[in-house]
């Protein structure tokens, strides 16, 4: 039976419960990280822990443990569940408060850690590519919620995901209030044209993805030019390749956008190369 780390101790899955007065449940008030484990090694561990604390600081929430203590708790949870290759969900909620919005009435944040397995997309998507659509749901305005904050309030993304599912697509591309590409519902977006790799800047409304950063590093190390710039729907339509990156998704090619075929309708050469390089890097 799987073990969940909850506020200082490991408990059985059926005993991992939080209060209905927790502001994470009542208002989506909290932050989280999704982290991969490859060959028993926690992938980009320090970067994930750092981003969690930065997200918490941005919403004025104090994580009730030091980074070292939290890292040890994550490691302990992975070992307790014997996860060699899998997925970690690390969550910090605002904690128990009252039915009002005031977050400062929550005396202590709550921390829980899940270590399990995940399969975001079917293997067929990685081999043959994925269909995506443009979402009508607009990405949250960056002055409303900074895109660098990985918060528990994912309703914006969920509404766009519903659009994708209704259209029979694997993902939806979200645009910001100015009409520029922000991100997919759970992944960062990359476009290849003329051998150059383009990706939206964080300021466009995309999460500063950790897998995104690794892929950019790998691409540059292999001699590719990577440019962060605002992208339009037209840029997606006329691209040679499109691929998405994310902790759960890793690197996955897109072969149709709004019914328009990308490239030759198969994951492109650069997409396949970066997927392999990412695999080798993650499993090294």
What is the residue extent of each domain of the chain?
3-116, 123-282
Backbone phi and psi for residue 195, each to the nearest 5 degrees, phi listed first: 80, 0
- Pairing relationship of beta strands 181-184 and 250-257 according to DSSP bridges: unpaired
Q: Are 61 and 107 in contact (CB under 8 A)?
A: no
- Rounded-to-integer distance, Cα 58 and Cα 268, Å: 38
104 C-beta neighbours (distance < 10 Å), count: 8
Angle at 134 (CA atoms; ends 128, 139), nearest 5 degrees? 125
* 10-residue mean pLDDT series, the chain (284 residues): 95 97 98 97 98 98 98 98 97 98 98 93 94 97 92 97 98 98 97 98 94 98 98 98 97 98 98 98 96
- Rounded-to-integer distance, Cα 23 and Cα 267, Å: 42
- Tell me the pTM: 0.96
Backbone phi and psi for residue 24, each to the nearest 5 degrees, phi listed first: -65, -40
CATH architecture label of 123-282: Alpha-Beta Barrel (3.20)
- Pairing relationship of beta strands 110-116 and 86-93 according to DSSP bridges: antiparallel
Closest Cα partner for 38 from 88, 90, 113, 91?
88
**Cα–Cα distance list, 95 to 28, 50, 184 (Å):** 11, 21, 29
Q: Report residue 250 as tokens.
A: 């890793």
Query: What is the per-residue pLDDT for 233?
Result: 98
Query: What is the per-residue pLDDT for 115?
Result: 98
The CATH number given to 3-116 is: 3.30.470.10
Query: What is the per-residue pLDDT for 1?
Result: 78
The residues that are catalytic are: 150
């Amino acid at each position: 039976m799987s073990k969940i780390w909850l506020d200082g101790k490991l408990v059985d899955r059926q005993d991992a419960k939080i209060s209905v007065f927790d502001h994470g449940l009542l208002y989506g008030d909290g932050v989280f990280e999704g982290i991969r484990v490859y060959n028993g090694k926690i992938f980009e561990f320090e970067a994930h822990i750092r981003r969690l604390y930065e997200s918490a600081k941005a919403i004025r929430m104090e994580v009730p443990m030091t980074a070292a203590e939290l890292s040890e708790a994550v490691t302990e949870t992975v070992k307790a569940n014997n996860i060699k290759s899998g997925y970690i969900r690390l969550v910090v909620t605002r904690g128990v408060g009252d039915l009002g919005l005031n977050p400062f009435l929550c005396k202590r944040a709550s921390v829980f850690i899940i270590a399990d397995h995940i399969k975001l997309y079917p293997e067929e998507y990685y081999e043959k590519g994925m269909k995506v659509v443009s979402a009508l749901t607009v990405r949250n305005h960056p002055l409303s919620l900074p895109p660098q904050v990985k918060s528990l309030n994912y309703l914006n993304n969920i509404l766009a995901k519903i659009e994708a599912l209704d259209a029979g697509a694997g993902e939806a591309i979200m645009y910001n209030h100015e009409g520029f590409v922000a991100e997919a519902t759970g992944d960062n977006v990359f476009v290849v044209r003329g051998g150059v790799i383009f990706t939206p800047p964080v300021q466009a409304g995309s999460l500063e993805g950790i897998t995104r950063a690794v892929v950019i590093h790998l691409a540059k190390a292999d001699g590719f030019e990577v440019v962060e710039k605002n992208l339009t729907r037209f840029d997606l339509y006329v691209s040679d390749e499109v691929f998405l990156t994310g902790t759960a998704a890793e690197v996955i090619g897109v072969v149709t956008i709004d019914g328009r075929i990308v490239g030759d309708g198969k994951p492109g050469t650069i997409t396949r190369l970066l997927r392999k390089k990412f695999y080798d890097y993650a499993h090294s």
